[in-house]
Structure 1
Amino acid sequence: MADRFAAAADALSQMDGDSSSLTLPILDVIPVTGAAISTLGDFLGSETVTASDSIAARIDEVQFDLGEGPCWDALATGLPALHPDFRSTMARWPAFSEALSAQPIRSLFAFPLIIGPLRIGALDLYAVQPMELGSRDAKRTEVFASIVSRHVLRRALRESGVTDSEDNAPNSRRIIHQATGFVIAQLGISAEDAHLLIQGQAFSQGRSMHEIAEDLIQSRLTFELTDNSIEVER
């Protein structure tokens, strides 16, 4: 089983250009019925990136329409929202629960998509029977969600046309590399995630990575960890 998990994580990591199959390695390891991956909130907007089946897609659609449900809880807290018996928690989200009352859903689990302190969406899982998601499967799903987070942000940046191409001059590369080190020191995250955060900030402000990097180096901008999201201080 450990080998299967490692193989699934590796397969997921290799799917950088293809979003449609992202749920397949997850469902090969985690014993649930279906899964969906979505972006949420103002940064990337609310969109289903991919869903394994029509029920998983419907769960996302209802959450977008009503602004409530496990994915919103996971996004708000930065922690998994685990509901092994959906019927017993219907009062928590009355409109969401009513909209899905006719669907064969008995368990719901949502894991936030996070890069450093930036929360961009959720990985939703559902099962047609009540079930506990054991600690091992929960930890493995968190690993999957981490891999998916990078894929989703890179996809959004590609589709928006934000690339490193305008920042490929030697001086720009040096400044961006230096700023990446600043973000690593501030947040304690990997170099890959720090680079993605700089790129994401450039996207959100409509500026170049070089400009964002210069602001970081000159302390005109810092990334701070808050309870709900990335906070940019100027």
Structure 2
Amino acid sequence: MVDQDMAEDFERLVELIGGTEDIKSVLNAITTFAAATMTDTTGTSIECAVTLRRRKHTATIGGSSDTAVVLDRIEQTLGDGPCVDALETGVPVLLGDVDSDPRWPEYRKALAAAGIASALGVPMKLQDDAGAVLDFFAPASGLFSERAVSEAVRFADMAGMALRLAIRIASADQRAEHLKAAMDTRTAIDVACGIIMAQNQCSKDQAFEVLRRASNTRNQKLNDLAQSLVDRFTGPQPTAAYFED
């Protein structure tokens, strides 16, 4: 039953992030879902933020609320807290009660001032050179029970899979955009060379040299010059491919 619930939650999470445009939006969606999941588990409103680490640099990227983002950024600035420890150790770290736990005194003061009584950091597995951690915040102590921590770990495992998928999709889209841009550039130059070849009865190398010289003379990018030639030639009144040095 647990595996079925996890599969259903993973499907919902993938659907939720499917329409997002960038990784930050994905992380905001993940933290919103995480906060809702832990709220259902504890019966009390829980907030969540997420921190990413890449090549030893960390940054708070998203959160279910402005308060969660601010509290997570305070922790990153201090370099001390359950989220930081979870990111370093790779295991969940619980701050059960800000009044009685002796660890992280400065961060506990910040949490108490914001009305937060307990916090939980749960790491997510990403790539070899990257990591992430979910930082949960509760208004009362004792809410992050053994069951709640297990639920948070379950969600973090699921969210880590979804985030890795989102990163791969974003990377693939970026590579596709770069490839399309390169192909568009090459196409414009090839077409422009073809126009020059047809009008000057010259070879492709000679046509490219004409285009290159014109680019240098005009101090204009080769692709921009090629595209302007193509646009002039394919417009309503084609003109000769003549460049003044």
Q: Into which bin does the TM-score normalised by the smaller protein fall?
A: 0.5 to 0.7
TM-score (norm 2): 0.56
Distance, in Å, in 2 between the alignment partners of 1:83 and 1:93 is 9
Matches within 5 A, 1:76-225: 76-89=88-101, 91-115=102-126, 120-153=131-164, 155=166, 158=170, 163=175
RMSD of aligned C-alpha atoms?
3.3
The alignment's TM-score, normalised by the length of structure 1, stands at 0.58
CA distance in structure 2 between the aligned counterparts of 1:58 and 1:160, rounded to whole angstroms: 32
- Residue of structure 2 in register with 1:61 after alignment: 73
Give secondary structure in 2 for the equivalent of 1:92.
coil
* Whole-Å separation in 1 of the counterparts to 2:11 and 2:46: 22
- Pairwise CA distance, 1:84: 2.1
Write the letter of the residue equivalent to 1:86: V
1:146–1:164 Cα change, 3 Å: farther
Give the conservation status (yes or no) of the 8 Å contact 1:113–1:119: no
Residue deviations 1:104-134 (CA, integer Å, cap 9, x gap): 0001001011137665121011110112423
Give the fraction of aligned pairs with identical amino acids, expressed as a percent. 24
Shift of 1:48: 2.3
In the alignment, the residues of structure 1 paired with residue 172 and residue 80 of structure 2 have an alpha-carbon distance, to the nearest angstrom, of 27
What is the alpha-carbon distance in structure 2 between the residues aligned to residue 25 and residue 137 of structure 1? 15
Where does the alignment leave 5 or more consecutive residues of structure 1 unmatched? 168-234
Partners of 1:13 and 1:147 within 8 A in 2: no
Question: Which structure 2 segments of 5+ residues have no match?
Answer: 21-25, 180-245
SS in 1 for 2:100: helix
For the residues of structure 2 that align with 1:13 and 1:35, how far apart are their CA atoms?
Answer: 18
- In structure 1, the residue corresponding to 2:148 is in which secondary structure? helix
Equivalent residue letter for 2:11 = D
Q: Tell me the alpha carbon deviations over residues 142-163 of structure 1, each in whole angstroms, 9 at most, x when there is no partner.
A: 1221232244455556379764
Contact persistence 2:124–2:156 (CA under 8 A):
yes
Alpha-carbon distance between aligned partners in 1 of 2:7 and 2:36, rounded to the nearest angstrom: 11
* Cα 1:161–1:29 shift into 2, 3 Å: closer
Q: How many residues align?
A: 165
The structure-2 alpha-carbon separation of the partners of 1:66 and 1:156, relative to structure 1 and needing over 3 Å to count, comes to farther
**Deviation, structure 1 residue 58:** 1.6
Task: Report if the CA contact (8 A) 1:36-1:50 is conserved.
Answer: yes
Contact 2:49 2:64 in 1 (8 A): yes
Match of 1:24 among 32, 39, 56: 32
Choose the corresponding residue for 1:38, options 37, 46, 51. Answer: 51
2: CA distance between counterparts of 1:13 and 1:138? 22
The answer as to whether partners of 2:36 and 2:46 remain within 8 angstroms in 1 is no
